[in-house]
Structure 1
Amino acid sequence: MTDTECQKLAAIFARKRDEDGLLDVKFFFQSLSETTAEEVCAEVNSLYAAVEAGKVKPLDFGDLAWKS
């Protein structure tokens, strides 16, 4: 049986909870009629895959107060 995108994401969050102390995650939909939970989970999974592959870099606009 193939895991759904949401099951894959749940596994990522379970690992982050156990290893990093993740407490809560929320997703706010602008319109539930324009997307499905599976589509959102697939997008988030793509984001995590890009982070793990080192294909992202932080954006710094110089406006982070805690960084000064």
Structure 2
Amino acid sequence: MGKFDYKFVEVPLDGNLKNGNMETLERCKEIIMSEAAQGWRLIQIISPAGERRMISGGSYEIVLEKEN
């Protein structure tokens, strides 16, 4: 079994998803597609606790993996 590298990309929240703000989600998609083109594989997206109640602040953390 090979060894793996991991990358963590922080994506700041751009407003409240409950109010229809999809900019953060679109930014996550862009990052995932860009990193996949470079050989990285999405492992997980970690969302902030209490996301539904957040108005601003916080961030998602995208976890990526690549075999070296």
TM bracket, shorter-chain basis: 0.3 to 0.5
* Structure whose alpha-carbon radius of gyration is higher: 1
Which is bigger in relative contact order (C-alpha 8 A, separation at least 6)?
Answer: 2
TM-score (norm 1): 0.36
Q: Which has the higher strand share?
A: 2
Q: Which has the higher helix share?
A: 1
